[in-house]
Amino acid sequence: MFVWKYPTHVGPGRWNDLVSIVAKKTLRETAPRIKRLGAVWDSTYRTQFREYQDVFLICHSMGGLVVKSWIIDLLEGGQSERLKTLRHIAFYATPHNGAPVTTLADWNKQLKDMQLDSPFIEDLGNRWHEHVVAWKDKVPGPEDRRYNRFIPQQVIAGLADRVVPSPSATIRGISLTTVPGDHSEVIQPFNIADTRYQVWRTALDAFVSVKASSKHPSGEVGREESLSETSTDTSSSLPGEVPEYASVFISYSTDDEDFAKRLYADLQKQGVDCWFAPHDMSIGDKRRTRVDESILAQKKVLLILSQSSVKSTWVEKEVETAFDKEEESHTLVLFPIMLDRAIFQEKAGWAADIRRQRHIGDFTQWPEERVYQQALERLLRDLKAKHV
């Protein structure tokens, strides 16, 4: 369990900022806009949850808007893959349609965002429906799946809540559950028998049960799962279940992009969770930072060796990050494969270290279909989670 708290208050924004600046002796903002909080949550999610196969979020009040803003930013940036381990969201007393009590709160940026006629609230609701809710009963195509993903969600309102009454807590296209309590009590069950806890637990158990039963004996995925998970979501394991293959970061030279694209597609078809720059880098990303974070997030680095890549500065930096991860984790991270025999001509540096210390998968004849498939089978065997 991980609890995330964000800066917020209901007082005048500038006055609270001034008081905090004096107290802390530094410039600071005490109630950042919801969209900015979403960016902070993005950093938290990437660092705190990267090792988890299944993530379930419980959001209260404005926290639900922060999470929605974060998700929409990822989807509109073509980063749907980053949400593949997010299995379910419970929204408790979240003002999806604004909160009546904020009507006159122009002095506070957060409260102003949550006003009933707020452009932020209206825009967020429309985009949430377009990119998330509308895909509940549809399977996205190859391009659509980068920008759209249905995430199972539960919308809960408190019977006595006057801060976010039921009409304010609804999401178009999602049923509403009402429980006892006011705005604070709605998220404070007395024990596990409390209705406020049980409505969430019942929905969670039902979701896990559907995922378990939707896998047929033949290994095919049932319709229930295919509708709630896009076809690129290869990480469909239940809590405690080990994925069949280790996840990989694909390191390569742009001169070898045709091969890298084919390998990426074939690994995805086999259920290997891959990070591949042309698909997973967003406009505006800082390349080195994004790459380092992705290498740390994946289990293995699949290194494509060629005459071009052994001379590539970028590939060298990626290999250095992989070596650092090996040293820290005491596990094998680097999986090298070769497209030619240039690696064997290297006498010094990182390439020479790999030549001396690692077995290198042979894809030198990859244009020949039969040979390529044999090499791919060997690679998949070595990526089996139980072997690495």
pLDDT tens readout for residues 125-156: 999 999 999 998 887 787 888 899 999 999 99
Q: Alpha helix (H) ranges present in 99-158?
A: 109-113, 119-131
Per DSSP, what are the bridge partners of residue 55?
86
For residues 103 and 111, the answer to whether their CB atoms sit within 8 Å is no
> Sign of the CA dihedral 210, 216, 219, 221?
negative
Specify the DSSP element, H or E, that contains 153: strand 153-158
Name the average pLDDT for the chain.
79
CA angle 184, 187, 189 (to 5 degrees): 110
User: 207-222 pLDDT, tens per residue?
Assistant: 666 655 544 443 333 3
* Site of tokens 């406020």: 196
CB atoms within 10 A of CB 333: 24
Reading the block at residue 170, the tokens are: 């609804």
Domain 13-228 has CATH 3.40.50: yes
**3-class DSSP state of 205:** helix
For residues 274 and 325, the answer to whether their CB atoms sit within 8 Å is no
CATH topology of 13-228 equal to that of 248-387?
yes
Question: Letter for the amino acid at 111?
Answer: L
Rounded to the nearest 10°, the torsion over CA 380, 289, 280, 351 is -40
The pLDDT of residue 373: 93
Could you give the CA distance from residue 208 to residue 243 in angstroms, rounded to a whole number?
A: 16
Please name the residues in contact with 206: beta carbons below 8 A apart, sequence gap of 6 or more.
none
Reading the block at residue 384, the tokens are: 């089996």
Domain regions of the chain by residue span: 13-228, 248-387
- pTM value is 0.53
Could you give the CA distance from residue 380 to residue 272 in angstroms, rounded to a whole number?
A: 8
For the chain, give the number of residues.
388
**3-class DSSP state of 178:** strand
User: 5-64 pLDDT, tens per residue?
Assistant: 765 544 444 444 444 434 444 434 456 888 889 888 998 898 888 888 889 999 999 999
CATH of region 248-387: 3.40.50.10140
User: 70-117 pLDDT, tens per residue?
Assistant: 999 999 999 999 998 999 999 999 999 998 887 766 667 778 888 888
- Percent of the chain whose predicted confidence (pLDDT) is above 70: 77
Reading the block at residue 311, the tokens are: 């001379």
